[in-house]
């Protein structure tokens, strides 16, 4: 096994008239949860969209399990095993929960029916709402659906963009616990973009801080991440 | 008894109008609903289907097979057009209107120059039947049945097949469809081909009932357009109920005052619907 699942080197990207990422470097190790934080507008979501392939890479390289993927379109990166849970969840609103999961599973050639059962162990609420339209679910339920939709494709790397945003604190805690279980059960690596310090500290080992399209600080303590320490660190 | 015969005549009028609206509109509705493209060349795909069907019948092919050939020819033409032109303009709806309008003009004129101003017609098959004092062409029932079959087929495709689910996902949140592993470009090109194929099917089905001229698409296009505007972006929740409502208006007005008033009734209905339901019937039914 390589000691990096995902390697990002000197990544630059942005929008037509607006460069955003100014050269981002980092590495994700197998089974690691790496948190990336930073204020609104620093380019965290742009980074995630560039990693999954929704925004083209202008410069730099992306290696997923040793393979260069920066020129692949999003659907090919998804099929290789990169899952994406976007900010704002973006479930398919006028499709049922079950159909949303069917779409998620389309990235794998031969879906295993057992996969769905395993996912319902993490998210039992989805099993109860299979035939409801995703658009009528609560924010927390939509968040769970968005994660489940990515998981049915059996990814090795999960990109999660602010999963705690706009949902109740206890649901956010549930999601944090599920992330830890996913890593335990599947060896999943996760890049977690998050501004919620408690969530970061309950799952991540390392935290990178972004500012103006760059990673400006790396917080990699020896022991556990402590919320108060991280808060103090971010306040500087 | 007399009123019974009359009522049946009314029902047949409605069935005619409904079938025409559904068959003319569903290809346009799919391309608009799934891709956000107003395909002003829709009428020319209808013409393509009609011409190919008639040519096949003249070559000795039985009518049902000839219609299928017409629909497939039109779908292939749609694929070519999508590959050569449409795909370069995704996300630019105004440009794609100008583009498809241009295609429409070029195709109409080219047909006029190469095939002349009309094609020898093939006549309506299957004879007729009488109910009381009135006589009806059996083919009118074929058309109505075809419209219902197309709606049922679309319902099945878009709800029960892998392609249909992928296509709806692509329509609702394109970037997440892509990030879920779907090749959205391919889905768009198949969708456009299906839209063109349905247009060709409409042309083939109506070919035996009309004189084929290069501008024949226009007569379909007006009513297709009206139906899509009233129905909104969803074929099942929009086009079908819109066609039913418009068919009642059109059949009623036609019966009351003749063809012209049938057309006027449609246009008034559109204006009223745009005022009340700017996103059409399906926009109203799927509101959140
Ligand atoms: N679609 C877009 N087009 C142009 N600029 C955008 C777009 N989306 C975001 N931006 C800009 O890019 C910058 C980074 O945004 P984003 O990556 O969403 O930040 P974050 O997720 O860290 O809050 C912001 O200045 C934002 O205004
Ligand atoms: Mg963001």
Half-sphere exposure of A46 (CA within 13 A, CB side): 26
**Shortest CA distance from A148: residue in chain B:** B180
Band of residue B288 on the pLDDT scale cut at 50, 70, 90 = low
pLDDT, tens digit (0-9, with 9 covering 90-100), for B191-206 = 999 999 999 999 999 9
Any domain includes B2: no
Least confident of A9-23, A130-144, B132-146: B132-146
Residues lying with their CB under 5 A of ligand 2, a single-atom ion:
A 44-45, 87
Q: Which of B176, B255, B286 is nearest to A49 (CA)?
A: B176
Q: Any chain A CB within 8 A of the CB of B166?
A: yes
CA dist list (Å): A12 to A61, A118, B61, B89: 9, 38, 60, 26
Q: Is A49 in the pocket of ligand 1 (CB under 6 A)?
A: no
What span, in angstroms and rounded, lies between the C-alpha atoms of B282 and B285? Answer: 5
Mean pLDDT confidence for B19-24 = 91
Taking residue B204's Cβ as centre, other Cβ atoms within 10 Å add up to 32
pLDDT tens across A7-44, in order? 999 999 999 889 999 999 999 999 999 999 999 999 99
**Within a domain: residue B6?**
no
Measure the CA–CA gap between B74 and B85, rounded to whole angstroms.
Answer: 16
Q: Give just the sign of the alpha carbon dihedral B71, B74, B80, B85.
A: negative
Contacts of A102 in chain B (CB under 8 A): 162, 165
Q: B288 lies in a domain?
A: no
Which pLDDT score is estimated for A93? 95
Q: What is the DSSP letter of A96?
A: B
Comparing CA positions, the residue from A231, A208, A171, A234 lying closest to residue A25 is A208
Using the predicted structure, report yes or no on whether residue B3 has a pLDDT greater than 90.
no
Q: What is the pLDDT of residues B59-112, one digit of tens each?
A: 999 999 999 999 999 999 999 999 998 888 887 888 888 999 999 999 988 988
Closest ligand to the CA of A86? 2
Q: Which two tokens stand for residue A163?
A: 């999963």
| Tens digits of residue pLDDT in A166-212 | 899 999 999 999 999 999 998 899 999 999 999 999 999 899 999 99
CB contact under 8 A, A52 and B169: no
The answer to the question of residue B86 being in a domain is yes
Q: Tell me whether residue B263 is in a domain.
A: yes
Distance of CA B285 to the CA centre of its chain: 22
pLDDT tens sequence across A41-71: 999 999 999 999 999 999 999 999 999 999 9
Task: For residue B55, tell me if it sits in a domain.
Answer: yes
B279 and A CB contact within 8 Å:
no
For residues A161 and A48, is the Cβ–Cβ distance under 8 A?
A: yes
User: In this predicted model, what pLDDT tens digit does every residue of A72-125 receive, in sequence order?
Assistant: 999 999 999 999 999 999 999 999 999 999 999 998 877 777 888 889 999 999
Mean of pLDDT values over B174-184: 95
Q: What are phi and psi of A204, to 5 degrees?
A: -95, 155
If pLDDT is split at 50, 70 and 90, which confidence band does A2 have?
Answer: low
Residue with tokens 């990030």: B179
- Which pLDDT does position A234 carry in this prediction? 76
With CB atoms and an 8 Å threshold, state whether A73 touches B173.
no
**pLDDT confidence of residue A208:** 94
The per-residue b/e assignment along B57-88, b for 16 or more CB within 10 angstroms, e otherwise, is beeeeebeebbbbbbbbbbebbbebbeeebee
Nearest C-alpha in B relative to A146: B176
Rounded to two decimals, the pTM is 0.88
Cβ atoms of residues B123 and B208 within 8 Å: yes
Q: What is the mean pLDDT of residues B151-172?
A: 93
What pLDDT, on the 0 to 100 scale, is given for residue B144? 95
Q: Verify whether the Cβ–Cβ distance B178 to A73 is below 8 Å.
A: yes
Q: How far is A106 from chain B (nearest CA, A)?
A: 6
pLDDT of residue A108: 84
Tell me, what's the pLDDT at B249?
87
For A86-164, list the strands marked E by DSSP: 157-161
Q: Which of B181, B238, B286 to mutate to test the interface with A (most CBs of A within 10 A)?
A: B181
More confident residue, A61 or B12: A61
Residue-number span of the structural domain to which B25 is assigned: 16-283
pLDDT at A236: 58
Out of B99-103, B149-153, B225-229, which region has the weakest mean confidence (pLDDT)? B225-229
Quickly count helices (H) and strands (E) in chain A: 9, 10
CB contact under 8 A, B182 and A103: yes
Cα dihedral across residues B46, B49, B51, B57: positive or negative: negative
Tell me the pLDDT band of A1, cut-offs 50, 70 and 90: very low
Quote the number of domains for chain B. Answer: 1
Does A84 touch chain B if contact means CB atoms closer than 8 Å?
Answer: yes
B205 within domain boundaries: yes
Enter the DSSP assignment of A132.
S
Q: Provide the terminal-to-terminal Cα distance of chain B, rounded to the nearest Å.
A: 48
Average pLDDT for B274-279: 81
**Average confidence score pLDDT of chain B:** 89
Mean pLDDT of the region B147-159: 93
Rounded to 10 deg, the angle between the B162-172 and B2-35 helix axes is 70
Q: B126 — alpha (psi -120 to 50), left (phi > 0) or beta?
A: left
**B170 closest CA partner among B157, B155, B188:** B188
State both tokens at B98.
Answer: 């100008």
pLDDT at residue A152 in the model: 93
Give the CATH number for residue B25. Answer: 1.10.3470
* Ligand 1 nearest-atom number relative to CA A213: 14
pLDDT in the model for residue A138: 93
- Across the interface, of A78, A95, A99, the residue whose CB is closest to B179 is A78
Give the Å distance between the CA of B185 and the centre of ligand 2: 26
Q: Is B285 on the interface with A (CB under 8 A)?
A: no
Q: What are the structural domains, with CATH classification, of chain A?
A: 6-88+156-234 (3.40.50.300)
Tokens representing B130 are 């009488």
Atom of ligand 1 lying closest to residue A46 CA: 17
State residue B271's pLDDT score.
87
Say if B125 falls within a structural domain. Answer: yes
């Amino acid at each position: 096994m390589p000691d990096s699942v995902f390697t990002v080197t000197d990544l630059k990207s942005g929008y037509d008239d607006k460069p955003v990422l100014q050269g981002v470097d980092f590495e994700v190790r197998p089974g690691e949860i790496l948190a990336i934080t930073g204020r609104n507008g620093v380019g965290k979501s742009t980074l995630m969209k560039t990693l999954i392939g929704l925004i083209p890479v202008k410069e730099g390289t992306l290696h997923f399990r040793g393979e260069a993927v920066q020129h692949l379109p999003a659907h090919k990166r998804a099929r290789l095993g990169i899952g994406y849970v976007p900010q704002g969840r973006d479930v398919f609103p006028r499709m049922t929960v079950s159909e949303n999961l069917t779409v998620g599973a389309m990235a794998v050639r031969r879906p295993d029916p057992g996969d769905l059962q395993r996912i319902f162990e993490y998210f039992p609420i989805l099993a109860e709402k299979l035939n409801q339209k995703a658009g009528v679910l609560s924010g927390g339920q939509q968040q769970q659906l968005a994660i489940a939709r990515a998981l049915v494709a059996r990814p090795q790397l999960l990109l999660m963009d602010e999963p705690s945003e706009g949902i109740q604190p206890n649901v956010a805690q549930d999601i944090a616990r599920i992330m830890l279980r996913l890593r335990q059960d599947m060896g999943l690596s996760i890049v977690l973009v998050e501004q919620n310090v408690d969530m970061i500290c309950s799952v991540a080992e390392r935290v990178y801080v972004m500012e103006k399209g760059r990673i400006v600080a790396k917080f990699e303590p020896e022991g556990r991440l402590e919320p108060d320490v991280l808060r103090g660190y971010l306040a500087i | 008894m007399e009123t019974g015969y009359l009522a049946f005549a009314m029902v047949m009028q409605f069935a005619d109008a409904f079938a025409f609206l559904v068959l003319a509109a569903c290809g346009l509705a799919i391309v608009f609903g799934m891709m956000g493209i107003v395909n002003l060349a829709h009428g020319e795909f209808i013409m393509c289907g009609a011409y190919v069907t008639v040519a096949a019948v003249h070559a000795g092919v039985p009518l049902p097979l000839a219609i299928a050939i017409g629909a497939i020819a039109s779908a292939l033409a749609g694929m070519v057009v999508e590959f050569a032109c449409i795909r370069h303009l995704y996300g630019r709806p105004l440009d794609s209107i100008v583009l498809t309008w241009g295609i429409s003009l070029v195709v109409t004129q080219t047909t006029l120059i190469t095939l002349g101003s009309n094609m020898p017609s093939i006549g309506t098959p299957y004879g007729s039947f009488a109910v009381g004092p009135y006589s009806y062409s059996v083919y009118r029932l074929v058309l109505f049945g075809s419209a219902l079959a197309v709606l049922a087929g679309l319902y099945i495709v878009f709800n029960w097949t892998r392609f249909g689910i992928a296509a709806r996902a692509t329509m609702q949140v394109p970037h997440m469809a892509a990030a879920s592993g779907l090749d959205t470009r391919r889905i768009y090109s198949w969708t456009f081909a299906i839209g063109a194929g349905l247009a060709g099917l409409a042309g083939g089905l109506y070919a035996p009932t009309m004189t084929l001229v290069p501008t024949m698409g226009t007569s379909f296009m007006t009513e297709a357009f009206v139906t899509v505007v009233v129905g909104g972006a969803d074929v099942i929740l929009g086009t079908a109920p819109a066609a039913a409502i418009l068919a009642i208006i059109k059949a009623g007005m036609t019966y009351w005052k003749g063809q012209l008033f049938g057309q006027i009734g449609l246009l008034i209905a559109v204006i009223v619907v745009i005022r009340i339901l700017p996103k059409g019937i399906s926009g109203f039914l799927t509101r959140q």
